[in-house]
Copies of this chain bind each other. A is one copy, B any other.
């Protein structure tokens, strides 16, 4: 795979000087058009030390308009980053639509380095690469243009380069013991990198291998590749649709739906409710003050029919908690900053630190519920959301987040009763809107969407809890109890 990058590509100074002005002008023009386009450009810079990665990043910033480039260097993760899933630090740095984000050091760095240093097994590396592939596919599906450059040097070339860098007093700071240590592992790194590159070279996010020895050659190669890719995307007519294969969704052959199997008559007397409430709130209070609670975090998702009692259930949870520990995150229409990012971005930004709870009142599942029903996004977008959501939740679980997901179900009659009651009661009036009535008209469509959602996203690590919510007392206790069980299990 690296053979073509050891051929000794070379561009002489004259040709370079001749070609650069034109390339630069074309890049600037492309960047200008990009600024009002509906997609971001994500550039990953990876490869061998001394192969010109840093120089190229600097050059790109020089050639193009640095104001619309976000260069993200790979630092040691901050403590805020360490307390969240691995990818959080990259999510927070994704460029918005219209901008270029350069990742100099990226999601590839840790998996490859950890493996080269013998800290992970082959299977783990493969898993990481598989996750990365899915992540990049999601970015591409969300519209991002992804370009990945691997800067290569042959072993001899790298040795020569490191030596010349360390000799020059002006560049010697760039070659530390670490670089020499890594050089000793050249063959191992090459083998692992090749494997990783092969596994993650996809149509959506291809790798470009760049021979790094000659500065003129590598600069023109990277510059022209970027130009070509951006131009191509800009010049593609907007209505061109690539053929999307949409997997079929289970057709509703009969009327037997999962949520119809719930026993909606279940209830709890007021007296029993009060006793149970006290019991489980006390239990929750103790669990969230447990010494090990600081090692986990809790992500609770509330979905349900309108007026099913999400707010009331959430309040029964929060009143057992210390307000310092939790945040209730209401999901409304995305803001401008959020619309400029992939769909899941606005949920990533609210992920809790360790020892905290984030309670989502409506959630990422909006994609496969309201957005599906109302046609806010095309079928292929909500169809792929199931997989993306599973990936997302898997990352949370791997980071020791407890995920609980509640679907609060009422019957259609009970909903009507509550709507009417709310319209009568003063301080509940604000809870009922035109939209609620409109949603109600689509009750049956929602039922199907809910069942599809549960079928496709109720996993062992992040199962849905279906809550029979015709009786509020019964529902609240079921929620509290299952939350306690889930936290208990994690501790």
Instruction: Please list the residues of chain A having a beta carbon within 8 angstroms of any beta carbon in chain B.
Output: 21, 24-26, 28-29, 32, 54, 57-58, 61-62, 65-71, 73-74, 78-80, 102, 104, 170, 173, 282, 285-286, 289, 311, 314-315, 318-319, 321-330, 335-337, 361, 426-427, 430
Q: Which residues of B contact A79 (CB under 8 A)?
A: 78-80
Q: Which residues of B contact A62 (CB under 8 A)?
A: 315, 318-319
Q: Once the chains are docked, how many angstroms separate the CA of A67 from the CA of B173?
A: 51
Are A324 and B67 neighbours in the complex by a CB distance under 8 Å?
A: no
Q: Which residues of B contact A319 (CB under 8 A)?
A: 58, 62
A324 and B54 in contact, given A66-B315, A78-B78, A282-B170 (Cβ under 8 angstroms): yes
**Minimum CB distance partner of A324 in chain B:** B73
Are A318 and B61 neighbours in the complex by a CB distance under 8 Å?
A: yes
Q: Which residues of B contact A323 (CB under 8 A)?
A: 54, 57-58, 61, 71, 73, 102, 104
Give chain A's interface secondary structure class: helix
Q: Which residues of B contact A102 (CB under 8 A)?
A: 323
Are B80 and A324 neighbours in the complex by a CB distance under 8 Å?
A: no
A149 CB to closest chain B CB (Å) equals 14
Are A427 and B54 neighbours in the complex by a CB distance under 8 Å?
A: no
Q: Which residues of B contact A21 (CB under 8 A)?
A: 427
**Minimum CB distance partner of A340 in chain B:** B335
Are A67 and B329 neighbours in the complex by a CB distance under 8 Å?
A: yes
Q: Once the chains are docked, how many angstroms separate the CA of A78 from the CA of B81?
A: 10
Q: Once the chains are docked, how many angstroms separate the CA of A170 from the CA of B320?
A: 12
Are A427 and B25 neighbours in the complex by a CB distance under 8 Å?
A: yes
Q: Which residues of B contact A330 (CB under 8 A)?
A: 67-68
Are B329 and A54 neighbours in the complex by a CB distance under 8 Å?
A: no
Are A427 and B28 neighbours in the complex by a CB distance under 8 Å?
A: yes
**Minimum CB distance partner of A73 in chain B:** B324
B29, B57, B68, B285: which contacts A427 (Cβ < 8 A)? B29
Q: Which residues of B contact A73 (CB under 8 A)?
A: 323-325
**Minimum CB distance partner of A322 in chain B:** B54
Q: Once the chains are docked, how many angstroms separate the CA of A186 from the CA of B195?
A: 65
Q: Mind listing 8 A-B residue pairs with CB under 8 Å?
A: A62-B319, A66-B318, A67-B329, A67-B361, A170-B282, A335-B335, A335-B336, A336-B336
